């Protein structure tokens, strides 16, 4: 399978790195593009793949899967640039946040499979959370191809496109919420006299272990939480503090506000593209 990554910046390069490490994709089968020649040289060295500054049409023409990883506002221009080089049967895969599939479809010469993905940054350690949707042209086999690609760098969920703003708020921005929690747990440990190093190891492993426990047990987190609460014990004292200070409803509100913001941003992006 030949892959072209148009705009191999942070996200495009992170995904490729994970796919190479998994062995699913071979560097020889990938062509990438960036904007500046300096970046092309740097990316060539970093990933060991063919990277060109510009050259989107040539890269797209020779690929089975064309990944569009430029900034959302640049996507229409890139799609217009490659549209006459695309062939039926190819897969177009956009990573652009907030950009609806219809914006891409309007710029195509003929109908084709267009996927939209919302990955998050832990794809760099092959533990990303990736939400996927696609237009009606996407076949079962193409869904399988795209899902397999993303499985190399994380967990894949199929969603309706109108849920992408909620996905952005939950898993797209979510790593930042968890980093904040880890940071606060480290600070709590340090405040209570643990060395920074030990507090960091314990906090990060606690979050990793708890997440794995939720996944592997298949139980609701509230059940697992109850299991570690001893009557009159330490955990219930801490839980009371967290509930009193509204940790749970703060997180719910954070995701609600972020979803609303993502929706507004998407609307503004489409309006600005339409006015061009």
Contacts to ligand NAP by CB under 6 A: 6-12, 33-36, 39, 56, 69-72, 74, 78, 95-97, 118-121, 172
Asked if 154 and 121 count as a contact pair (C-beta separation under 8 A), the reply is no
Residue 12 vs 154, nearer CB to ligand NAP: 12
Handedness of CA 218, 223, 224, 227 (dihedral sign): negative
Residue 77 vs 201, nearer CB to ligand NAP: 77
Residues with Cβ within 8 Å of residue 107, at least 6 apart in sequence: 76, 79, 80, 83
Residue 118 vs 156, nearer CB to ligand NAP: 118
Question: N- to C-terminal Cα distance for the chain?
Answer: 35
CB 99 to ligand NAP: min, Å:
7
CB 164 to ligand NAP: min, Å:
11
CB 22 to ligand NAP: min, Å:
19
CB 148 to ligand NAP: min, Å:
19
Entry field: residues in the chain? 276
CB 14 to ligand NAP: min, Å:
8
Residue 68 vs 199, nearer CB to ligand NAP: 68
Name the residue number minimizing CB distance to ligand NAP: 9
Residue 46 vs 87, nearer CB to ligand NAP: 46
Closest by CA to 113, choosing from 146, 85, 81, 82, is 146
Return the H-helix or E-strand segment holding 33. Answer: strand 30-34
CB 208 to ligand NAP: min, Å:
20
Residue 32 vs 203, nearer CB to ligand NAP: 32
Q: In what order do the strands lie in the sheet with 65-68?
A: 50-53, 30-34, 3-6, 65-68, 91-94, 113-118, 128-134, 154-158
Alpha-helical runs (H) found in the chain: 10-22, 37-47, 56-61, 75-82, 101-105, 140-151, 164-167, 174-191, 196-217, 221-227, 234-244, 247-274
CB 122 to ligand NAP: min, Å:
9
Residue 5 vs 199, nearer CB to ligand NAP: 5
Asked if 50 and 44 count as a contact pair (C-beta separation under 8 A), the reply is yes
Residue 199 vs 258, nearer CB to ligand NAP: 258
Distance CA 159, CA 36 (A): 35
CB 224 to ligand NAP: min, Å:
29
Distance CA 32, CA 44 (A): 9
């Amino acid at each position: 399978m030949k892959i072209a990554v148009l705009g191999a910046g942070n996200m495009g390069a992170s995904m490729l790195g994970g796919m190479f490490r998994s062995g699913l994709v071979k560097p020889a089968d990938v062509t990438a593009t960036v904007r500046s020649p300096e970046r092309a040289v740097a990316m060539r060295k970093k990933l060991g793949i063919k990277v060109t500054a510009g050259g989107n049409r040539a890269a797209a023409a020779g690929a089975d899967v064309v990944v569009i990883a430029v900034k959302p506002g640049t996507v229409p221009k890139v799609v217009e640039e490659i549209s006459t080089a695309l062939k039926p049967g190819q897969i177009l895969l956009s990573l652009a946040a907030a950009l609806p599939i219809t914006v891409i479809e309007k710029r195509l010469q003929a109908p084709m499979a267009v996927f939209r993905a919302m990955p998050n940054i832990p794809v760099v350690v092959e533990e990303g959370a990736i939400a996927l949707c696609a237009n009606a042209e996407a076949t079962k086999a193409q869904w399988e191809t795209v899902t397999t690609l993303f499985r190399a760098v994380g967990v894949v969920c199929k969603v309706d496109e109108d849920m992408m703003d909620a996905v952005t708020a939950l898993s797209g921005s979510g790593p930042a919420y968890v980093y904040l929690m880890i940071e606060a747990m480290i600070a709590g440990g340090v405040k209570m006299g643990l060395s920074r190093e030990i507090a960091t190891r314990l906090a990060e492993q606690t979050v990793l272990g708890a997440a794995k426990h939720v996944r592997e047990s298949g139980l609701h987190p509230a059940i697992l939480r109850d299991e570690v609460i001893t009557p009159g014990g330490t955990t219930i004292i801490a839980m009371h503090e967290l509930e009193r200070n509204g940790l749970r409803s703060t997180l719910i509100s954070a995701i609600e506000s972020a979803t609303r913001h993502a929706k507004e941003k998407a609307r503004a992006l489409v309006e600005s593209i339409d006015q061009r």
